[in-house]
Amino acid sequence: MTRVLLVDDEPLVLIGMQGMLNWAALGYEVVGTARNGAEALRAVQEKQPDIVVSDIRMPVMDGFALAEACHKDGSALPAFIMLTSYEEFDYVKRSMRLGVVDYLVKIDLTADGLTAALEHARDTAEKEKKLRMPSPAPVSLDTFRDRLFLQLYGGLFTDRAVFDRQCAELGVTFKAPRHIVAVGSLQTPDLPTSQLVTLSTGVTRMAAETLPKYRPCRVTAMDLRHFSVLLPLEADEDPEAVLAPILKTAGQILYNYFSTAICWAVGRPVNDILKISESQHDAFAALPLLHEGEPVAFYHESPNTQLDHRAQVVGQVQQYIRDHLSERLTLNDVAAVFNFSPNYLSQLFAQNSESGFVEFVTATRITAAKELMASTDLKVYEISDKVGFDSAFYFSKVFKKLEGVSPREYMQRMKVSYVDAKDEATV
């Protein structure tokens, strides 16, 4: 709604203008009236109207003095429509300044004339508002590289030529014979969303600055508690021997700075970069293996202990959830798939996972939604349906709670066109 303030020292004129139009139907809201310029100035400061329709001749402060006072800071808002008489017409015509965009002769005032003047003023006000809007921050090529990696992790590249072209455009190359994913996990108690957003952003940014000092890599935020690190490996390198010391060192640096423990779960290496989603899935499946005494866990196909076995079972359930996000995933439904009782499955998650069953399903759906936002043009309600939410409204509510922004705001960030850049990234 465009906000309008009506100003005239004649009560009948104010009443007449208020009843002359169906203001709401035309997209206007009359936010108040005033009987003189001084009263109007206070109303402008309090109610912040977009348009002021004001008489010129008024006691205490006339219309022009009011307009001058409203615009003394150089602002073009509010836009003014002046009411005048025949005797003042030529004077007013010579004084089209001070934010005055139109003038109307009182005695000839009609609904059509007032509507036309309001439309003119609204156009002026909207243009001024656009000028006041902060320019969007320049989007770096890294934003689009993150999008590429989210698509990779989602297994969304089916055409190698398309993938190669995007890599060339973004200056990304994959020269190593093998690649592997480590998932960094913030071991932090429940925090208000705003604090968690700040912490997650800071940790992820510092991880992206710290880890490349030890080994080339790419850090990509996944959700508020996890980020993925894509690392290159030579053909004969042992992932555990090479990566465990690096990840422990980086985790200690992050802990020293943020007082938040970072644990790492590492998947199996892959020979084809287009299969890197498999390594990330393995890493997420290894998350339940993490515990306080061991900050780095590597995925193994054969569990070594009973504890590992339970953690591996949880990892299998988690993978089932990732593969069936569009379906019903209640505790009872998933327990039935694995021939567990709901209570047993709930206990497995409580004892061998970073989060409870419901929390894991929700976080996984949001992560999948982010991958779809990065790689498709689907609408919010279509994404909501694909990742298994009952309604787009509930999806938006949950997304904002976990990510700190609405789905639309997140999508706008991902879809902005990037500017030319010459820098390169190699992993």
* Position 97 in a domain: yes
Q: What is the DSSP letter of 420?
A: P
- Contact of 425 with 172, CB cutoff 8 Å: yes
**Owning domain of residue 285:** 174-301
Please write the tens of the pLDDT for every residue from 91-112: 555 555 556 788 888 888 889 8
* Position 90 in a domain: yes
Please write the tens of the pLDDT for every residue from 234-272: 999 999 999 999 999 999 999 998 888 999 999 999 999
Structure tokens at 68: 């001058």
Which helix or strand (DSSP H or E) is residue 4 part of? strand 2-7
Q: Quick check: 324 pLDDT over 80?
A: yes
Q: Quick check: 135 pLDDT over 60?
A: no
Q: Of the candidates 285, 301, 317, which is a domain's last residue?
A: 301
Please write the tens of the pLDDT for every residue from 198-243: 899 999 999 999 999 999 999 999 888 889 999 999 999 999 999 9
- Contact of 345 with 338, CB cutoff 8 Å: yes
Q: Are residues 178 and 247 in the same domain?
A: yes
d(CA 337, CA 348): 15
Q: Are residues 71 and 185 in the same domain?
A: no
* Cα angle: 363, vertex 364, 368; to 5 degrees: 120
d(CA 243, CA 180): 10
* Position 86 in a domain: yes
Q: Of the candidates 132, 161, 182, which is a domain's last residue?
A: 132
**pLDDT confidence bin for 194, thresholds 50/70/90:** confident
Q: Quick check: 89 pLDDT over 60?
A: no
Q: Quick check: 295 pLDDT over 70?
A: yes
Which helix or strand (DSSP H or E) is residue 425 part of? strand 425-426
Per-residue pLDDT at 383: 92
Q: Are residues 61 and 10 in the same domain?
A: yes
Q: Of the candidates 273, 301, 329, which is a domain's last residue?
A: 301
Provide the 3-class DSSP secondary structure of residue 112: helix
How many separate domains does the chain show? Answer: 2
* Position 317 in a domain: no
* Cα angle: 224, vertex 189, 359; to 5 degrees: 60
* Position 297 in a domain: yes
* Position 398 in a domain: no
Q: Are residues 124 and 226 in the same domain?
A: no
Q: Quick check: 283 pLDDT over 90?
A: no
* Position 381 in a domain: no
Segment among 154-163, 165-174, 244-253, 268-277 with least mean pLDDT: 154-163
Per-residue pLDDT at 63: 85
CB atoms within 10 A of CB 19: 10
* Position 220 in a domain: yes
